[in-house]
Structure 1
Amino acid sequence: MTTPIAMMYGTAWKEDATERCVVDALAAGFRAIDTANQRKHYYEEGVGAGIAASGIPREQLFLQTKFTFVDGQDHRLPFDPHAPIATQVQQSFASSLEHLRTTYLDSLVLHGPSQREGLGRMDHEAWRAMEDVLASGKVRMLGASNMTAKQVHDLVAFANVKPVFVQNRCYARTGWDALVRDACTRHGIRYQGFSLLTANRQVMTHPRIGDFARKYGKTPAQIVFRFARQLGMLPLTGTTDPVHMREDLDIEDFSLTPDEVSTIESAG
């Protein structure tokens, strides 16, 4: 896919509904799909089935998956847990290609560091292995998820190939993850924000959000997604409702004023 990505469809926590949701999302107009080879929270094979059922050519899609360390998995592992980390990355990625029925992916993301503070040996080994996958030509970009600002700085300092993306759950109460977004801006990394609605229910019912929704003839969710875009985020939505899928994409015909953006920034 060569056109800019405006919104991604997230496939976590959908289990047997995954295939249907992916079909519906693609029918609604989504062309960027986020998943992970982590059966505990994702059904990557269902994503692949949905893509196949849609009939949309591979070159029109942006497909992103993640490598998840063993501590983030359940018993359904996509790799040998006793193998070196580099081998685990290779096995997980090969499995993702099979699940998604493709010969290449657009983005491979480290699904969270192995430790809460800083980066450790496992993270370094995984990133080097991901760089090897990139060098093979089977993936086009690398990213990292569930990062602190310090971890972003540390990864950029360590990496031979720095991340193109950082994906985090985005809380309004932290200034919409301001510290991590600032770190991304400093290093030229695009920030992907997820749980923009479910993590910020108090914002969705904020009186000023309602005012903006009425002013522009939009839903509160559309206001939040437009706000995220104007902050420079690449937002993810994981709605299972086809109507909401279409609504979430329908945010190109208006812009919030700087004052309105500031109001939402402080709404947490």
Structure 2
Amino acid sequence: MELKIPLLLYGTAWKEERTAHLTETAVLKGFTCIDTANYPTTYDEKLTGDGIAAALKSGIKRSDLFIQTKFAPVWAHHPKKIPFNPHQDIEGQITESVRQSLEHLQVDYLDSLLLHVPFEDDRDNLIAWKVLETFVPHTIRSLGVSNFKLLQLKEVYANATVKPVMVQNRFYKETGFDSDLREFCVERGITYQAYWMLRNNPEILASDILKSVAAKLNVEKELAFYVLILGLGGTQILDGTTNPERMEQDLKTVGEVFGNRGRLRELQGDINAFRQLLSKLSTVAE
């Protein structure tokens, strides 16, 4: 299955009561991929749906958007915020959660659903995956995983009929920037969705390479960081900015760099230096 997913996804986590407004703003500013989750601890999926619905009234079509949500196992939820009946079997939990997501998001299909975190018993990942496969391709168009280690991803991939097509993970040195996992993804056409870049990478944010790219593009270092990650190839960025001007700038800069081969070639030396920096920091972390 060939998916056309933009390089930037708008992340709706931690937006609380501002979720609807910020989601609507993001879509109107040009974001075409919205990432959410049926995970009330950090997401408000219903308000995300309200924001999407409001944006669609402006003339944007549902088919213009890529809507991605997630299912999380019982153990990952706050005990008082489990959205589905936790006493059901895995099939019942997933079925109820998918139904809720469709209702919350006010849509009749989901472009993507991710298994938000692995189950406590890795064998249950395979059971859950088989359940998720029953929704493809009509209710759910594509499947993926989040917060998975390489061995867990390999096991799902090897046993899946519907292969995962995206992995959403934290991008930081404690995991070696997922270098081996990203290589596995590239070899199999799986898109790597990076998040948490800005929270736990102080060495990179203070690096000369980021300052250099930021100066070349005349942007802030955070956006330069996004560009370098995208330059690795096979990657997407989960962008959760709450600033409308930054939404515009992020989309504009990424569109200019990756829509212009000449501009991207100009940055190839910086991208290579960035790869070397990631390798160096990964070695330090070990």
Q: Cα–Cα, structure 1 residues 230 and 239, in superposed 2: closer, same or farther, change >3 Å? A: same
Instruction: Show the counterpart of 1:223.
Output: 224
Structure with bigger helix share is: 2
Matching of residue 89 in structure 1 with residue 94 in structure 2: yes
Instruction: Show the counterpart of 1:57.
Output: 61
Q: What one-letter code is carried by the residue in structure 1 that aligns with 2:220?
A: T
DSSP 3-state at the match of 2:256: coil
Instruction: Show the counterpart of 2:197.
Output: 196
Contact map agreement 1:147 1:168 (CA 8 A) in 2? yes
Q: What one-letter code is carried by the residue in structure 1 that aligns with 2:126?
A: H
Instruction: Show the counterpart of 1:113.
Output: 118
DSSP 3-state at the match of 1:139: coil
Contact map agreement 1:147 1:180 (CA 8 A) in 2? no
DSSP 3-state at the match of 1:192: strand
Instruction: Tell me the percent identity.
Output: 37
Measured in 2, the distance between the counterparts of 1:218 and 1:184 equals 29
Instruction: Show the counterpart of 1:133.
Output: 135
Q: 1:154 offset after TM fit, Å?
A: 0.9
Measured in 1, the distance between the counterparts of 2:162 and 2:5 equals 21
Contact map agreement 2:172 2:201 (CA 8 A) in 1? yes
Q: 1:134 offset after TM fit, Å?
A: 1.2
The CA deviation string for residues 105-135 of structure 1, in whole angstroms up to 9 with x for no partner, is 00011011113xxx62321111111001115
Instruction: Show the counterpart of 1:259.
Output: 269
Instruction: Show the counterpart of 1:9.
Output: 10
Q: 1:258 offset after TM fit, Å?
A: 2.8
Contact map agreement 2:23 2:52 (CA 8 A) in 1? yes
Q: Cα–Cα, structure 1 residues 201 and 248, in superposed 2: closer, same or farther, change >3 Å? A: farther
Q: Unaligned regions of 5+ residues in structure 2, if any?
A: 258-263, 282-286
The CA deviation string for residues 186-224 of structure 1, in whole angstroms up to 9 with x for no partner, is 322111111222232332222331122112222212211
What is the Cα-based RMSD across aligned positions, in Å?
Answer: 1.8
Instruction: Show the counterpart of 1:103.
Output: 108
Q: 1:63 offset after TM fit, Å?
A: 0.2
DSSP 3-state at the match of 2:199: coil
Aligned length: 264
Q: What one-letter code is carried by the residue in structure 1 that aligns with 2:103?
A: E
Measured in 1, the distance between the counterparts of 2:189 and 2:146 equals 16
Contact map agreement 2:5 2:33 (CA 8 A) in 1? no
Contact map agreement 1:47 1:100 (CA 8 A) in 2? yes
TM (normalized to structure 2)? 0.87
Instruction: Show the counterpart of 2:261.
Output: none
DSSP 3-state at the match of 1:9: strand
Q: Unaligned regions of 5+ residues in structure 1, if any?
A: none
Matching of residue 38 in structure 1 with residue 48 in structure 2: no
Contact map agreement 1:107 1:141 (CA 8 A) in 2? yes
Q: What one-letter code is carried by the residue in structure 1 that aligns with 2:255?
A: E
Instruction: Show the counterpart of 1:158.
Output: 159
Instruction: Show the counterpart of 1:246.
Output: 248
Which aligned runs of 4 or more in structure 1 are off by greater than 4 angstroms? Answer: 172-175
The CA deviation string for residues 68-88 of structure 1, in whole angstroms up to 9 with x for no partner, is 001111222222111110110
Instruction: Show the counterpart of 1:70.
Output: 74
Contact map agreement 2:143 2:166 (CA 8 A) in 1? yes
Q: 1:42 offset after TM fit, Å?
A: 0.5
The CA deviation string for residues 235-257 of structure 1, in whole angstroms up to 9 with x for no partner, is 11111111111122122323253
Contact map agreement 2:171 2:195 (CA 8 A) in 1? yes
Instruction: Show the counterpart of 2:30.
Output: 29
Q: 1:164 offset after TM fit, Å?
A: 0.8
Q: 1:24 offset after TM fit, Å?
A: 1.6
Q: What one-letter code is carried by the residue in structure 1 that aligns with 2:113?
A: L
